[in-house]
Amino acid sequence: MFERVLRAVASRWFRLVLVVLIALSVQTTLFTEVRPFGFAIQLIAIFVAVVGSTHDVQTGAVVGLISGFMYDAVLATPLGISALVLGALGAIAALVMQPFREPTWWLRVIAVSVVAAFGEILMPIVKSVVGLSGWLDVRILGAAAVTFVGALVVSSALIPVSRWTLQERVGRGD
Amino acid sequence: MARTRTTLTRAIILLALAAVFFITLDLSGSSSTSNLRRAFDTIFAPVEGVARVVTRPVSNAWKAIRDYDDVIDENDRLKEQVALQEGAAVAAAASVRLSQELLALNGLPTLAGINSVTAQVIGDTPTNFSQTVEINQGANSGIKVGMPVLNAAGLIGKVTEVFADRALVMLISDPDYALSVKVVTKSSRTPVTLPPLPTEDAPTVDSVIETTDTSSTSSTSSTTTTILGFTPGTTTIPPEVVAGAGGGSNITVPVASQLAVRETGILEGRGPGTRPIVRFLDASTRASAIEVGAPIVSAGGSRSLAPPDIVIGVVSRVVERLGTAGPVLEIDLVADLSSLSFLRVLLYQPITETGK
């Protein structure tokens, strides 16, 4: 029993939850204050896109769904909306990178930025689908542009973080 | 490898279904999602607190770079404004007191009878698609979901999530926010104009005697007020108050219908940077009857989200619509939602929000 708990704590998914918790705290503190042109840079969306671009479709989707649930828990929006959007982003980021056998770092950064920016367009669409209309206007282009530029700046730093977070550690009993 | 993929695919299906399930649960107003949020908050709050301390120098530096000139200008402007308003504030306080006394005398509800909690804004919304602020008071201070939130100027929103020591406030500008409001309009009727009175015909009010006249043939009793020199059935005006009496001037007497008319409608937010609107006004309301600058206050009522007569804003534009649809009003909010600092949460939970 104790060994199973230890193994769960040492797993990459537990590590992911801790990393997302830190990213979330930065999102709700620093990036709520630092708002270029009045828009918040979506660090969580960028992180999910980075994970998708460095891993496969399934991993990207699961990371997006888990991160989304955690993000929803601190927002006033219905629980599950960000999970669906970020889950889709993780999968899309992985799909975008699939045609490239050995992508260069800058190609990965551009792909992450485009996908993270797309998330800012996808979010109001999903909100409208569930009946929370009012967000689909030209303003979303500004939000997408700010997240795109923000992703260009921070995503290269997040690539090693995502690899470390989700690396499999083969140990005794694995 | 294949086994891992199958496990991950199952996890995706499970998590996606869970997301849909929770969205449905949350939109149907279930309190179980609030409990989940509260549980998560107990883990997240300490981490966020540490992050707030660590990132404060960076955010302060950002604010210093971005806002310094604006702050200097605003400070000068505010000093001038404070000097101007010091005198007016004394007169306003006296008027408010008088108004509250009159309302209390007539048994009408006033905000003075509702307790409140003062809170400070400690965070903005982390997303671009919700208009919320975080305050530093929560369930421990008696705050509950649905309570109206004000700043010094007027209504700014309502509490949507409550944690032990903090709460989230949805701002009026959020598209999900709606509130029944009253708009003070002009009367549609023309005032009654009386012909000039001969001076000798105008009576003087000597004294007022109240008599009770109970008719034996009627089942109800009626109280009438008799003024000496006044003949029931005719409208006369004392000469002292008739401007130009005897001089042949007409006099305009305000009738009840000429007093301000209150139209009710629904105020809806439309996102940041866009003025909220008031819809569902009575279709018979003429747009010309509503003046730009007319005050908008909360309507109150047993099912309203806020007590009556909280100042919200003024009409900035009246948009007339064709057909049976009534006019739509664009509103300038009195509260500046972009720079909120200290707020007041009224400890008034609407019936529609109880149990959340």
A141: closest chain B residue by CA: B128
The angle formed by the CA atoms of residues B163, B29 and A126, to the nearest 5 degrees, is 95
In chain B, residues 168-227 whose CB comes closer than 8 Å to chain A: 168, 170, 175-176
* A150-160 tens-digit pLDDT: 999 999 999 99
pLDDT the model gives residue A144: 94
8 Å CB contact of A80 and B26:
yes
pLDDT the model gives residue B154: 87
C-alpha to C-alpha distance for B346 and B144, rounded to whole angstroms = 10
Identify the sign of the CA torsion A45, A51, A57, A63.
Answer: negative
Place of tokens 């889709």: A88
Q: Which two tokens stand for residue A83?
A: 């999970």
CATH code for the domain in which residue A59 is found: 1.10.1760
8 Å CB contact of B23 and A120:
no
Mutate to test the interface with B, among A11, A25, A128, A130 (most CBs of B within 10 A): A25
Query: Do B280 and B302 meet the contact criterion of CB atoms below 8 Å apart?
Result: no
Place of tokens 């108004």: B99
Residue scoring higher pLDDT (B112 or A64): A64
Is A124 part of any domain?
A: yes
Largest pairwise CA distance in chain B:
110
How many CA atoms within 13 Å lie on the side-chain side of B208?
A: 3
C-alpha to C-alpha distance for B115 and B347, rounded to whole angstroms = 6
**Nearest-CB residue to A40 (from B127, B175, B176):** B127
8 Å CB contact of A134 and B160:
no
Is A24 part of any domain?
A: yes
In chain B, residues 279-308 whose CB comes closer than 8 Å to chain A: none
Q: Is the minimum CB–CB distance between B34 and chain A shorter than 8 Å?
A: no
The CATH homologous superfamily of the domain defined by B181-189+258-333: Rod shape-determining protein MreC, domain 2 (2.40.10.350)
Closest among B228, B50, B237, B38 to B144, alpha carbons compared: B38
Q: Is the minimum CB–CB distance between A130 and chain B shorter than 8 Å?
A: yes
Task: Name residues whose C-beta falls within 8 Å of residue B295's C-beta, 6 or more positions apart in sequence.
Answer: B183, B184, B311, B313, B314
8 Å CB contact of A80 and B123:
no
**Nearest-CB residue to B22 (from A39, A76, A79):** A79
pTM of the model: 0.69
Mutate to test the interface with B, among A33, A43, A66, A125 (most CBs of B within 10 A): A33
* Full domain range(s) for residue A69: 2-166
Chain B residue numbers touching A123 (CB-CB < 8 A): 127-129
> Residue B51 is inside which H or E element, if any?
helix B32-105
The mean pLDDT value of chain A amounts to: 89
In chain B, residues 133-152 whose CB comes closer than 8 Å to chain A: none
Q: What does the radius of gyration of chain A's CA atoms come to, in whole angstroms?
A: 16
A25: closest chain B residue by CA: B48
Candidate from A33-37, A43-47, A168-172 with smallest mean pLDDT: A168-172
Q: What is the pLDDT along chain B (356 residues), one digit of tens a residue?
A: 677 778 888 888 888 888 888 888 888 877 788 888 888 888 998 999 999 999 999 988 988 888 888 888 888 888 888 877 776 777 777 777 777 777 767 766 666 667 889 999 988 888 888 889 999 999 999 998 889 999 888 899 999 889 888 899 999 999 888 888 888 765 544 444 545 544 444 444 444 334 444 333 333 333 333 333 333 333 434 444 444 444 444 545 455 555 556 678 889 888 887 889 988 666 566 656 778 888 888 887 767 778 888 888 888 888 877 766 678 888 988 888 888 888 999 888 777 666 55
A39: closest chain B residue by CA: B128
8 Å CB contact of A76 and B272:
no
Tell me, letter by letter, the H, E, C secondary structure of B69-116.
Answer: HHHHHHHHHHHHHHHHHHHHHHHHHHHHHHHHHHHHHCCCCCHHHCCE
* A95-147 tens-digit pLDDT: 999 888 888 889 999 999 999 999 999 999 998 888 887 788 888 999 999 99
C-alpha to C-alpha distance for B245 and B197, rounded to whole angstroms = 6
8 Å CB contact of A74 and B44:
yes
**Nearest-CB residue to A29 (from B21, B33, B52):** B52
Place of tokens 């989940």: B36
How many CB atoms lie under 10 A from the CB of residue B193? 9
How many CB atoms lie under 10 A from the CB of residue B85? 11
Q: Which two tokens stand for residue B224?
A: 């009438």
pLDDT the model gives residue B202: 45
Closest among A89, A136, A130 to A113, alpha carbons compared: A89
**Nearest-CB residue to B168 (from A72, A76, A130):** A76
In chain A, residues 22-41 whose CB comes closer than 8 Å to chain B: 22, 24-35, 38-40
**Nearest-CB residue to A76 (from B15, B44, B160):** B160
Identify the DSSP state of B206: -
Torsion angle, alpha carbons of A31, A35, A36, A42, to 10: 40
A168 forms bridges with which residues in the sheet?
A: none
Give me the total of CB pairs closer than 8 Å, taking one residue from chain A and one from chain B.
166
Closest among A166, A165, A158, A160 to A46, alpha carbons compared: A158
Q: How far is A10 from chain B (nearest CA, A)?
A: 17
Tell me, letter by letter, the H, E, C secondary structure of chain A.
Answer: CHHHHHHHHHCHHHHHHHHHHHHHHHHHHHHHHCCHHHCCCCHHHHHHHHHHHHCCHHHHHHHHHHHHHHHHHHCCCCCCHHHHHHHHHHHHHHHHHCCCCCCCHHHHHHHHHHHHHHHHHHHHHHHHHCCCCCCCCCHHHHHHHHHHHHHHHHHHHHHHHHHHHHCCCCCCCC
Q: Where are the domains of chain B?
A: 31-108, 181-189+258-333, 196-252
Is A77 part of any domain?
A: yes
Closest among B126, B177, B175, B191 to B149, alpha carbons compared: B177
C-alpha to C-alpha distance for B237 and B195, rounded to whole angstroms = 11
Q: Is the minimum CB–CB distance between A54 and chain B shorter than 8 Å?
A: no
**Nearest-CB residue to A62 (from B11, B44, B126):** B11
8 Å CB contact of B44 and A24:
yes
Is A171 part of any domain?
A: no
Is A76 part of any domain?
A: yes
Q: How far is A133 from chain B (nearest CA, A)?
A: 7
Is A172 part of any domain?
A: no
Phi/psi for B298 (5° steps) reads: -70, 145
Instruction: Please state the domain count of chain A.
Output: 1
Query: Do B158 and B144 meet the contact criterion of CB atoms below 8 Å apart?
Result: no
pLDDT the model gives residue B282: 64
C-alpha to C-alpha distance for B55 and B301, rounded to whole angstroms = 44
**Nearest-CB residue to A29 (from B41, B55, B63):** B55
**Nearest-CB residue to A28 (from B16, B48, B176):** B48
Instruction: With both helix axes pointing from N to C terminus, report the angle between A57-74 and A12-33 in degrees, rounded to the nearest 10.
Output: 50
A133: closest chain B residue by CA: B175
pLDDT the model gives residue A42: 93
**Nearest-CB residue to A80 (from B23, B55, B63):** B23
